[in-house]
Amino acid sequence: MLKGVPLAASGLRSVRFCKEVPFIDCVISNDLDPVAVDLIRKNAQMNNVEQKLKPVNHDAIQLMHSSSGFETRFHVIDIDPYGTASPFLDASINAMQENGLLCVTSTDMAVLCGTSAGTSLGKYGGLAVKCSPVHEQAIRLLLHAIQSAASRHGKVIDPLLSLSIDFYARVYVRLRSSPKEVKRIATKTAIMFSCPGCKSIHLQSLGKENAIGSECSICDSKLVISGPLYCGSLHDRKFISDLIEQINTNEEILSEFKDYPLAEGVCDDFTRTDLGSKTKLLGLLHLALEELEEAPFYVNPDHLAATIKTSLPKTELLKSALINAGYQVSDTHFQRSCFKTTAPWDFIWHVMRTIHRTR
- Please give the full DSSP string across 69-122, using - where no structure is assigned: SGGG-EEEEEE--SS--GGGHHHHHHTEEEEEEEEEEE--HHHHTTS-HHHHHH
* Alpha-carbon gap, residue 12 to 44, rounded angstroms: 9
Supply the pLDDT for residue 71. Answer: 66
Report the predicted TM-score, pTM, of the whole model to 2 decimal places. 0.88
Q: What's the order of all strands across the beta sheet hosting 168-177?
A: 53-56, 26-30, 2-5, 74-79, 96-106, 168-177, 155-165
Fill in the DSSP letter of residue 252.
Answer: -
Looking at the domain 2-290, which fold is it? Answer: Rossmann fold (3.40.50)
Specify the CATH number of the domain 301-357: 3.30.56.70
Supply the pLDDT for residue 257. Answer: 47
* Alpha-carbon gap, residue 123 to 111, rounded angstroms: 9
* Alpha-carbon gap, residue 12 to 345, rounded angstroms: 47
Supply the pLDDT for residue 275. Answer: 56
The length of the chain in residues reads 359
Of 221, 224, 179, 182, which Cα lies nearest the Cα of 204? 224
3-state SS class at 349: helix
* Alpha-carbon gap, residue 288 to 162, rounded angstroms: 8
Residue ranges, the chain, pLDDT below 50: 251-258, 261-274
Of 58, 60, 71, which Cα lies nearest the Cα of 26? 71
Domain coordinates in residue numbering, the chain: 2-290, 301-357
Supply the pLDDT for residue 202. Answer: 92
